[in-house]
Amino acid sequence: MNVGIVGLGYVGLPLAMEFADAGVNVVGIDVDAAKVASLTVGRSHIEDVPDARLATALPRCTFTTRIAELERVDAILICVPTPLNANREPELGPVLSATRAVAGVLRAGQTIVLESTTFPGTTREYLVPLLEESGLRAGVDFQLAFSPERVDPGRTDYTIRTTPKIVGGLTEACTARASAVYEHICEQVVPVSTPESAELAKLLENIFRSVNIALVNEMSMLTDRMGIDIWEVIDAASTKPFGFMRFEPGPGMGGHCLPVDPFYLTWRAREFDFATEFIELAGKVNAQMPYFCVEQIERALNDAYKPVRGSKILLLGASYKPGVGDLRGSPALAIIELLRARGADVRYHDPYVAELPSFGLRSVELADGIQDADVAAIVTAHPGVDHERVMRALPGSVDFRGTTRHMKRAVAQH
Ligand SMILES: NC(=O)c1ccc[n+]([C@@H]2O[C@H](COP(=O)([O-])OP(=O)(O)OC[C@H]3O[C@@H](n4cnc5c(N)ncnc54)[C@H](O)[C@@H]3O)[C@@H](O)[C@H]2O)c1
């Protein structure tokens, strides 16, 4: 089998690797010629795909910007971005242009699958008409399905192979054909009856996380006021073996998915005269968190008789999650902006993010950062960073991730 993958980012490239490992030939397409050029010589831009992994897959992979190469594949998986535009509405531009390009080379017998996260109705209402401009009919001449990508970059306990794959085709035959493609790389395929169910299942998963993170974030702001240790509360509640699921507070929600995807549904729901209030409320609470973080840093400085203006503040972790260098929507960026607006002298340490050009900052060595700071704040707790050392050296510092909570507890109990 030959598979074409359109969009070689966090989703598309690992998918290409899985197919290649399974003995499937892959044509990987991207509009970014620089990415294609570096992949072709074995340089990966995705942490989850080390160069050594890429090297073993390369003999089965063709990376190119030439969409015409898709003519020879059996299935085409579209994995392009689905961001929000300036008005926080779905920006389907990349999906539509990728689909148009595919329509230009589509041939009878091919299976097309959209993997990009989107609102229910996208596959049927947007992809079908564009693909049918080829003169071929969806569900008759070619098969079409939606199958959401559920990978969590940086995660090793659940992989593409071990995470069940939802597949919803336009027809039963479409579901069956698309499922057969994924059976090469996934242990379990979960068929659903329509693309809309598959589209909404993915959004439900992300909305569930967003709402629960907001709930625990709100709780953390309350416990801060009440003088209760939120981590102890969460640890205690988590001992319940049923009916409770652990979520942890943090500096806000980052990444490409959680701050964005739920609003795809909000937008779609308006067409049905329906307000998705949980989504809006969760977005509002999570968006407040960087302000709450800055307030905690201000308090830490205040306790040391220092103003924010002119103080040297060391942030630990700039990316939005541990173990990856992804800066998209990272709350650290909002925190830096807020602190700078108050006149702070901000520096950061992040082994995964060498520089933040928009702020003119480069990651400092941990020892230098500690030596030269009035206070530190753990924003994202990357593995391998000695956070306890930071807390010992700068005891008034704040930890938004709870990694050093045992140290605070030990002090409190003395
Ligand atoms: N990153 C994640 O953790 C994750 C998880 C699950 C689902 N998703 C969803 O998967 C989709 C892709 O996300 P991502 O994180 O891989 O994005 P990404 O930005 O990392 O990669 C997308 C790639 O598509 C390319 N591209 C854009 N337009 C194109 C076009 N018209 N033709 C060919 N290539 C094009 C870009 O150059 C880029 O390399 C999104 O809908 C996202 O919501 C992402």
Q: Is 7 in the pocket of ligand 1 (CB under 6 A)?
A: yes
Write down the catalytic residue from 61, 174, 186, 257.
257
Q: Is 80 in the pocket of ligand 1 (CB under 6 A)?
A: yes
Return the best residue to mutate from 27, 256, 260 for the ligand 1 pocket (most ligand atoms within 8 A of CB).
256
- Which residues sit opposite 167 in a β-bridge? 191
| Token output for 122 | 């996208």
The rounded Å distance from CA 319 to ligand 1 centre is: 18
- Let me know if 257 is a catalytic residue: yes
The rounded Å distance from CA 6 to ligand 1 centre is: 9
Q: CA gyration radius for the chain?
A: 23
| Token output for 367 | 């020892």
| Token output for 319 | 């990316």
SS3 324: coil
In this prediction, residue 409 carries a pLDDT of 65
Q: Whose CA is nearest to atom 24 of ligand 1?
A: 7
Query: 279 near 260, Cβ under 8 Å?
Result: no
Q: Whose CA is nearest to atom 33 of ligand 1?
A: 30
Query: 279 near 351, Cβ under 8 Å?
Result: no
Residue 35, Cβ density class (10 Å: 0-12 exposed, 13-18 middle, ≥19 buried): buried
Q: Is 29 in the pocket of ligand 1 (CB under 6 A)?
A: yes
Return the best residue to mutate from 5, 11, 39, 77 for the ligand 1 pocket (most ligand atoms within 8 A of CB).
11
What is the value of pTM for the model shown? 0.93
| Token output for 104 | 């230009």
For the segment 340-374, what is each residue's pLDDT rounded down to a tens digit? 999 999 999 999 999 999 999 999 999 999 999 99
Q: Is 151 in the pocket of ligand 1 (CB under 6 A)?
A: yes
| Spans in the chain with pLDDT lower than 50 | none
The type of residue at 86 is: A
The rounded Å distance from CA 8 to ligand 1 centre is: 7
DSSP string, 19-84: HHHTT-EEEEE-S-HHHHHHHHTT--S-TTS-HHHHHHHGGGEEEES-GGGGGG-SEEEE-----B
The rounded Å distance from CA 149 to ligand 1 centre is: 10
Please state whether beta strands 111-114 and 75-78 pair in parallel, antiparallel, or not at all (unpaired): parallel
In this prediction, residue 412 carries a pLDDT of 60
Q: Whose CA is nearest to atom 27 of ligand 1?
A: 80
The type of residue at 139 is: G
Backbone CA torsion sign across 192, 195, 200, 201: positive
**Residues 6 or more apart from 116 whose CB is under 8 A from it?**
7, 11, 78, 79, 80, 81, 82, 94, 95, 149
In this prediction, residue 411 carries a pLDDT of 60
